[in-house]
Structure 1
Amino acid sequence: MLFSSLPLLFAATALASPLHQHSSLYKRACATGPDTAADFVNYAGYSDPALNAATPPGYTNTFTNLQASSNADGYGGFITLPSYNVTTCAAQCTSRANCHAFNIFYERTPVAAPSNCTSSATIKCVFWNGAVNTANAKNTGSTQNNFQIVIAGSNGYVASAISPSAGYAMPIYLNNNAVQAPLDCNGKDTYLGFQTFNTSFDASRCAKACSAQAAYAIAHPPSDGSKPKTCQFFNTYVESKNGVAQDQKCVLYSQTWGKSVASNTGYAYGQDVYTMGMSYAYSNATDAGVCVKA
C-alpha cells in the first residue's frame, strides 16, 4: 500500500488561595480556599506545561494555551492522561488510522466521591480527522448541575502532511467525498485540471501545484484580454481501487467551494470500484469564495 496513517484523571483537590500555595504542578492542594472556575483557568500549573510543550515530530502546533477546546471535523474520540504529555497524545493520534489532528487540555470536572474538594482536573487528549485551529477552538465549557466546567492549557496540533502551505487557509475535512463543483454564477467552469502523485500523502505538493498554475496563468494571460483563471482552491484525496490506495490526487479550481459540493463518492469502471479517502479542501487565504456576477 502506498499510503499509511499519518505520521486522566487527577485525584485533585480544592484550589488554595493564593495560587502559589498549590502543592504540585498538576495536583492542587485540598484546602478551604476558593475553588472557582476563575482560579482554574488562571492557575500557572496548567498554563506552564502548555506553554513549554515541545511540538512532536510530524506535527505542527496550531494554537497554544487557550482557554477553549476544539470542535473540529471528524471526531475520533479521546483518552485521559495522568500528566500533560503532548508526546503521548501525538503517538496515540499517529497510531489511529484516521487521526490527523489532536487537542490536549485540562478540563475542570466535579469530584464525584465525598471530599472536601469541589473540583478535579482531567487531562484530555481529543482526536480529530480534520484540522484543529483557533477558528474552531470555541468550546469554553458549560455549566452542569450548577458546576462550571472550564478549559485551561489547551494546545492544538495538526499532522504535517495536512498542514497548509503559506498563503492557504486551514483545510476543510471532506472524509470520503471529493469536490464535484458546479458552474459558477456566470455559468463558467472553475475546474483547472488535476495532478497525481504516487508517493506518501502530502497536501503541500498540491498547494505548490495550485500556486504554480496561478503564477503561470498570470504570466500568460488570455489573448482576448479577459482575466486569467488562477487557481484559488484545491481538493486533495487518496484514490483507492477496490479498497487499495493507488495515488494522491490534487484537483485544482479557480474558485473556493464549500462542503455542499463535495458529492463525489467514487465510480465504477468495469469490474473495478474507485473510491476516495482522506479528502481535504484548501482555499487561498485571500479568496472569499464569492462569485461576482459579470
Structure 2
Amino acid sequence: MKRAACDPQPAGTAPNTYPDTPEAFQKNPYFHGQANSWPVYIPSGKSFYAERFRDKNGSTQQNSYLTFYVLDKYSPPECAKKCDAVSLCTAFNIYVERDPSLEPGPACPNPKSVANYKCALWGSDISPATATNTGQYRADFHIVIAASNGYSRASWAPPSPISGFQLAQNLSNKAITSASRSTYLGWKFIPGPYDPSLCGSYATVQTAANKQEAKNKGSKSYQPCNSFNAYYVYKNQYAQGTYCQLFNADIDGMKASGQADTTYQGDRYSVGVSYTWRADPQDDGQL
C-alpha cells in the first residue's frame, strides 16, 4: 500500500539521538558501543558466522540481497537465526538506521527521526568493500547508517539436492575452463544469490529443447546435458550472481584446470563458490 505524505511511520526499535541530526546519529556512542560489544564469531545452529567488518557507517549493497528484518535489539545471534532459516542465506548485516517518523512530503519534508535495528540477509559472502550504502534522502530527510557489522557463514553447507542430478565435486573457488569444445553446451548467468538449482532447471530445459529439436529434424540423436558447473561470480568484490556452464559429458572437475579470477576491461572477476553436478542417470542422447 502506498504511503501518503506525512503518514505516521512505525515507532523505532532503537533509542533516539539528540540532537536529532544525521551527523549526531552516526557519532552516537551508544550505537558504536553496541557494534563493538560482540565477538568476531557468532555461533548459530550447527555452524557459526565470522566477522567480515565492524562498526561501519554503511550497510552492504550488492546483487545477492534476500530480505531484511527489523529487530527489537542489536543482536547478531538473532540476525544469524534469521539467516539460518532462509535456505539461500550465507551472510548477514546488522546495523542501526535513521528513519523518518512521518512519510516525508511537501508539508513535512524533514520530520523527526526514529532509529531501527535492521538485519539484512545475503546469498553470498560480504566484505568491507560491499558496505557502501551510506544512506539516501527522502525529500529533505537524510537516512543514514551506523554501527554496521557484517558476518559470513564460516563454511558453505553442501547445496540442497537438485532433481535429476547428483552432486559431484566441490571446486572451491575455481571454475572449469579447459573442457573440450565438443563437450561444451553453453552457459547462462542468473543475477542474485547463489542458487545452483536454477542451473539444474536450465540444464533440464535445455536437454528437453535439444531432444525436441532433434525429433523435429528427424535426427536419431541429440545433445543432452549430462553435467554442469554452477559457480558464484564476484565483480570487484561485489556479488553478482550464479554462472551456469552445461556439458554433454560427465566432467571430471579435478582433471579440468580452473581459474580463481580474471581481469576484463579493468574489472576483476572472481569465483566465490563452485560445484559440479552430474545427471543421474546419464543420458546417451539417442532417440
Instruction: Identify the TM-score tier after normalising by the shorter chain.
Output: 0.5 to 0.7
Instruction: Give the aligned partner of residue 289 of structure 1.
Output: 262
1:53 aligns to 2:38 (yes or no):
yes
**Residues 49, 68 of structure 1: alpha-carbon distance in 2 compared, 3 angstrom cutoff:** same
- TM-score by length of structure 2 reads 0.54
**Superposed displacement of residue 137, structure 1:** 1.0
Instruction: Give the aligned partner of residue 128 of structure 1.
Output: 122
Deviations 1:20-58 (A, max 9, x none): xxxxxx4237xxx62100000000111111111133121
Instruction: Give the aligned partner of residue 101 of structure 1.
Output: 91
**Superposed displacement of residue 64, structure 1:** 0.2
Deviations 1:192-242 (A, max 9, x none): xxxxxxxx53xxxxxxxxxxxxxxxxxxxxxxxxxxxxxxxxxxx777342
- Aligned mate of 2:16, from 20, 28, 47: 28
Instruction: Give the aligned partner of residue 148 of structure 1.
Output: 142
Alpha-carbon distance in structure 2 between the residues aligned to 1:282 and 1:149: 28
Instruction: Give the aligned partner of residue 100 of structure 2.
Output: 110
Alpha-carbon distance in structure 1 between the residues aligned to 2:234 and 2:176: 10
Q: Residue type matched to 1:280 in 2?
A: Y
Instruction: Give the aligned partner of residue 39 of structure 1.
Output: 24
Alpha-carbon distance in structure 1 between the residues aligned to 2:24 and 2:167: 53
Instruction: Name stretches of at least 5 consecutive residues in structure 1 with no aligned partner.
Output: 1-8, 13-25, 163-199, 202-236, 256-260
Alpha-carbon distance in structure 2 between the residues aligned to 1:148 and 1:108: 8
**Please, what is the CA RMSD of the aligned residues?**
3.9
- Aligned mate of 2:170, from 231, 245, 249: 249
**Superposed displacement of residue 138, structure 1:** 0.6
Alpha-carbon distance in structure 2 between the residues aligned to 1:275 and 1:120: 52
CA contact (8 A) 2:95 2:149 kept: yes
Alpha-carbon distance in structure 1 between the residues aligned to 2:135 and 2:145: 6
Deviations 1:61-104 (A, max 9, x none): 10000000001232111110010010000011011111111111
Q: Residue type matched to 2:15 in 1?
A: K
**Superposed displacement of residue 263, structure 1:** 2.4
Deviations 1:132-187 (A, max 9, x none): 2111111000111101110000000111124xxxxxxxxxxxxxxxxxxxxxxxxx
SS at match of 2:143: strand
SS at match of 2:151: strand
**Superposed displacement of residue 254, structure 1:** 7.5
**Residues 83, 144 of structure 1: alpha-carbon distance in 2 compared, 3 angstrom cutoff:** same
Higher strand share: 2
**Superposed displacement of residue 262, structure 1:** 5.8
Aligned residues: 187
Instruction: Give the aligned partner of residue 215 of structure 1.
Output: none
- Aligned mate of 1:280, from 227, 232, 238: 232
**Residues 96, 11 of structure 1: alpha-carbon distance in 2 compared, 3 angstrom cutoff:** closer
**Residues 122, 39 of structure 1: alpha-carbon distance in 2 compared, 3 angstrom cutoff:** same
Instruction: Give the aligned partner of residue 85 of structure 1.
Output: 75
CA contact (8 A) 1:101 1:130 kept: yes
**Superposed displacement of residue 130, structure 1:** 1.5
Alpha-carbon distance in structure 2 between the residues aligned to 1:37 and 1:156: 22
CA contact (8 A) 2:97 2:117 kept: yes
Alpha-carbon distance in structure 2 between the residues aligned to 1:47 and 1:66: 9
Q: Residue type matched to 1:37 in 2?
A: P
Instruction: Give the aligned partner of residue 63 of structure 1.
Output: 53
**Superposed displacement of residue 249, structure 1:** 3.3
**Superposed displacement of residue 288, structure 1:** 6.5
Q: Which runs of 4+ in 1 moved over 6 A?
A: 269-278
Question: What percent of counterpart residues are identical?
Answer: 25
**Residues 248, 88 of structure 1: alpha-carbon distance in 2 compared, 3 angstrom cutoff:** farther
Deviates more, 1:245-254 or 1:136-145: 245-254
Instruction: Give the aligned partner of residue 240 of structure 1.
Output: 162
Instruction: Name stretches of at least 5 consecutive residues in structure 2 with no aligned partner.
Output: 1-9, 179-185, 190-198, 212-223, 238-259, 265-287
**Superposed displacement of residue 121, structure 1:** 0.5
Alpha-carbon distance in structure 1 between the residues aligned to 2:166 and 2:119: 29
Instruction: Give the aligned partner of residue 113 of structure 2.
Output: 119
